[in-house]
Amino acid sequence: MRTFTVLGRHRNLLAYAVVIGIVISVAQGRESIYDVGVSILVFGLMGIPLALMYGHGGIISLCQASFAALGGYATSILTVSHGWSAWEALAPSILVPGVIAYLISRPILRLPELSLALTTIALAQLWYGLVALGGDRTGGHVGLYGMPALPFGDEQLGGFLGIAVLVAAAIWAFENYVRSARGRALNAIRIDPILARSVGADVARERALVFGVAAGVAGLAGWYFSLYVGFLSPDSLSFTQSFAVLFMVVIGGRRSSIGPLIGSTVYILAGDLLPGGVAQGVVFGAMLVAVLLLLPDGLASLGGIVRRVRRRPPGSGSAAPRDPAPAKRERAHA
Amino acid sequence: MAAFMEYLANGAFFGALYALLALPMFLIWSTTDVVDINIGGYVIVAGVVSASVGGVTGWLLGVMAALGMGAVTGLLFLAFHWLWDMKDMMRIVLATFGLLLITASAVQALVGTDNLYLSGLSGSVHLLGFRLSTQGMFNLLLASAFLLILFIVLNGSASGLRMRAAAASAASAALVGIAVRRMQFMAFLVGSGMAGIVGILAAMTTGVSYSRGLQFSVYAVTAVILLGLRGPATVFLGGILLGIFEQMGVAYLPSGWSQLLPPALILLVLASGRSHTISVHAVRA
Amino acid sequence: MLSARGIAVAFGGVKALDVVDVEVGPGSIVGMVGPNGAGKSTLFNCLTGVVSPDAGTVELDGKDITRWPTERRARVGIGRTFQTARADPNSTVCDAIMTGFTVSTRQCMLGAFLSSPGVRAEEKQFKARALALVDTFDLGNPDALVGELPAPHRRLLEVARTLAGDAKYLLLDEPAAGMDSLDRQILSKVLRQVADRGIGIVLVEHNFGFVLSLCDEVTVLASGKVVAQGTPEHIREHPEIVRVYLGQGTP
């Protein structure tokens, strides 16, 4: 029974592991497939904590890529200028963005949700400007290069497996969190801050903590990205990428741990198929509007809808409600 | 000192555009609870249409194009409320991001990536020993006129009062028989028209290209929250102040640093944590 | 002892409450009744921390908590329900009750992410307690969606969630509104059991009969002033109350 519930909690992780296995067996060591896979997974790693933050906590970030860049620059500067190893740079690349995000958001999160979204837009611009003005330290507009290789072995497969394991850990942690008292508090805050406060939740603190964790995980993605590419400039992880991460979370499913991965797969593959920036802008913009309007919990919620429709008609085995009055379904609200 | 005064005047002239854009941002924000990020889209569409067509026909077509896009945003807003019991306005805000993305890409497809100019007023006036640009003075005068008109309409006319009631409390306004949804749609329409005029002035002043949409939206948001969502005059003043800050930054900060001013201002204002800077209803979360 | 002394609140010159005292001790049930606009909701909001009184103090066991925000009061054991049920219609009954454990959880963030043994043990215990509450309140299937519950059951759910939070005092905002007599019986029975465990209860109600049959102490408010205060027997015989409220023999 217990093993069954553990599997039920982690069935997304299982599905993910199966897909990764299939990709590896299909790829047969072909570099291009691993490259595409790594792009999808790096975006996914930035998106999964954003799904927790937006889908469960109700707050939006438009600077996930900036926090990744912060982690990436921490890694690059420490490894290139100070001779740290890739592993030694891991902790700072997570902690620096995480702590900064927590400290900045704490006072701002006493205000309604919108204020954090505006803050993140401002942060993205500020960060971009500061990096460009950073001179020799950040490499300015030119950027930094000469980072050590990823510490996952020389093979392409090693790099791919490394990010795949990081993403698996993120999915696992996500599923744990939403089933804990802290996760329930986060959801209560999104649905009704007044109710959440009445059960003792500290609205600003809970949200700031999740925002900090999301930034830290983005920093981890930045650590991986800077070592994988071996080059980092202000434009590698800019506002465009931050917006893309949010796009993926919305398209794939903001409440699901694998929604961001579905979204990043759509984004990367459609980006390869569509001819150039103009077509991409129109198609991605239209997709964003359509999904927000018609399918607020994204493509990942399609499975749940199908399951519910199939489960509904017969008595479904569970005890009937005490009151036979027809239960009025309330419209799902966001 | 003379140089300082000139920067001040130039700042106010640039700020006039932000102020004129802050008015529709405020109008839509307060009536619908939505921060319309597509507002920068209205600006660039009106700008490039007027610049490509030219002349008075260009102005008219530019404003009409902006109005058409405002109608699209308004209809989308109504569709959200028609389909769902909307509590999470961030979803609509994100959708306006999507609209801006479509707008900017469409503009790029139609007129390319160049910065397009519209011939405006040339030359400058010498006043009290300062050289002031004619176009800048015109922008400031026109923006002030719009503030006055908006003020009179909101306070004097029946539909203006209805709109203010809808902004103060949609629920109470509905109770006294105001068609709140129609008022909200009107806010998008009127707002897009005003943003269209900003587009034409911007094409005369600095030129307009597809890539500046988001920048205009961010400036409008900054102007609105700088002094808080208290009323048209306050957000207008916020726009003027933003222009002055920006010009002072260009003049006195090392090159490149002035572009950090708007985001730094947003951060400072929000971190000070006063709720009316972000909400008309001044509720704490 | 949770007490409010000398509470006065004015909204724009209108006196909503004009020097009112009310107190509840462990294990007793105190009811506040009165017509609309009597000030009972305002008094309730002063106790929960939604309204800050212009004068007077709110004290918990001698500690002044007048200016404390709601969440801080929750943490020292003051739980509340709302007039309109606020639980998420899309969550399950069990999860909605488990939201109430927010105030007493010892889960740290890292533990929640890693699902540490401590977190798992606590979750198991929370789940068992929530299921017991579902039973106590006869709420049916714990996995049903809140939105599918009939309205009176959603009110019972509100009380159940508050009980989950180990409150020492419960503040209930019209808990019996819209309930039929069967549901009211369940509610009365449960509230009495709760009080017998040493928990103090304050409730605001329209229904005189319900309050008089359940409460140990009753405060009758009208136009922001206390009309009568005392045991149900005392209230039943109070000349003013008999004349105005009980004269027609309604309850």
Confidence of residue B281 (pLDDT cuts 50, 70, 90): low
Q: Which residues of A touch C99 (CB under 8 A)?
A: 184-185, 187-188, 195, 199
Q: Are A26 and A176 in contact (CB under 8 A)?
A: no
Q: Residue B7: what pLDDT?
A: 87
Q: A318 and chain C: CB distance < 8 Å anywhere?
A: yes
Domain-embedded: residue A300: no
Q: Residue B280: what pLDDT?
A: 63
Q: How many domains does chain A have?
A: 1
Domain-embedded: residue B75: yes
- Give the residue on A whose Cα is nearest the Cα of B221: A118
Q: Residue A68: what pLDDT?
A: 97
Average pLDDT over residues C43-47: 90
Q: Residue C101: what pLDDT?
A: 94
Q: Are B279 and B35 in contact (CB under 8 A)?
A: no
Confidence of residue A325 (pLDDT cuts 50, 70, 90): very low
Would you call A18 exposed, middle or buried from its count of C-beta atoms within 10 A (0-12, 13-18, 19+)? exposed
Q: A1 and chain C: CB distance < 8 Å anywhere?
A: no
Q: Residue B53: what pLDDT?
A: 92
Domain-embedded: residue A253: no
Q: Residue A311: what pLDDT?
A: 64
Cα–Cα distance measured from residue B117 to residue B199, given in angstroms and rounded to the nearest whole number:
11
Q: B203 and chain A: CB distance < 8 Å anywhere?
A: no
Cα–Cα distance measured from residue A138 to residue A130, given in angstroms and rounded to the nearest whole number:
9
Q: How many domains does chain B have?
A: 1
Q: Residue C202: what pLDDT?
A: 94
Q: Residue C183: what pLDDT?
A: 86
Domain-embedded: residue B34: yes
Cα–Cα distance measured from residue B229 to residue C77, given in angstroms and rounded to the nearest whole number:
38
Of A68, A50, A115, A64, nearest to A250 by C-alpha is: A50
Domain containing residue B248: CATH number: 1.10.3470
Cα–Cα distance measured from residue A121 to residue A131, given in angstroms and rounded to the nearest whole number:
16
Q: Residue A113: what pLDDT?
A: 85
- Give the residue on C whose Cα is nearest the Cα of A212: C109
**Average model confidence (pLDDT) for chain A?**
88
pLDDT in tens, C104-124: 899 999 999 999 999 999 999
Collapsing DSSP to helix, strand or coil, B72 comes out as helix
Domain-embedded: residue A266: no
Q: How many interchain CB pairs under 8 A, A with B? A: 154
Nearest to A322 among C112, C113, C138 (CB): C138
pLDDT in tens, B185-213: 999 999 999 999 999 999 999 899 999 99
Alpha helices by DSSP H, listed for A199-276, are 203-229, 239-252, 259-273
Cα–Cα distance measured from residue B127 to residue C123, given in angstroms and rounded to the nearest whole number:
75
pLDDT in tens, A139-181: 888 889 889 988 887 678 889 999 999 999 999 999 999 999 9
Confidence of residue A326 (pLDDT cuts 50, 70, 90): very low
Q: Residue B167: what pLDDT?
A: 83
Nearest to B85 among A130, A280, A331 (CB): A331
Domain extent listing, chain C? 1-77+167-251, 88-165
pLDDT in tens, A56-78: 999 999 999 999 999 999 999 99
Confidence of residue A318 (pLDDT cuts 50, 70, 90): very low
Q: Which domain holds residue A119?
A: 11-240
Tell me the residue type at A115.
S
* CATH code given to domain C1-77+167-251: 3.40.50.300
pLDDT in tens, A243-288: 999 999 999 999 999 999 999 999 999 998 998 878 899 999 999 9
Domain-embedded: residue B268: yes
Q: Which residues of A touch B88 (CB under 8 A)?
A: 58, 333-334
The distance of B91 to chain A (nearest Cα, Å) reads 6
**To probe the interface with A, which of B257, B278, B281 has the most A CB atoms within 10 Å?**
B278
A323 and C90 within 8 Å at the Cβ level: the answer is no
Q: B8 and chain A: CB distance < 8 Å anywhere?
A: no
Is pLDDT at A313 greater than 60 in this prediction? no
**Average model confidence (pLDDT) for chain B?**
89
Q: Which domain holds residue B219?
A: 2-119+133-277
Alpha helices by DSSP H, listed for chain B, are 2-32, 39-53, 55-83, 90-111, 134-156, 158-168, 170-175, 180-205, 213-226, 232-252, 261-271
Q: Which residues of C touch A329 (CB under 8 A)?
A: 147-148
Q: B161 and chain A: CB distance < 8 Å anywhere?
A: no
Is pLDDT at A323 greater than 60 in this prediction? no
The CB-based long-range contact list for B78-81 (8 Å cut-off, 24+ gap) reads B78/B181, B78/B184, B78/B185, B79/A293, B80/A293, B81/B181
Nearest to A202 among C71, C98, C161 (CB): C71
Q: How many interchain CB pairs under 8 A, A with C? A: 126
pLDDT in tens, A78-87: 999 999 999 9
B105 — phi, psi (to 5°)? -65, -40
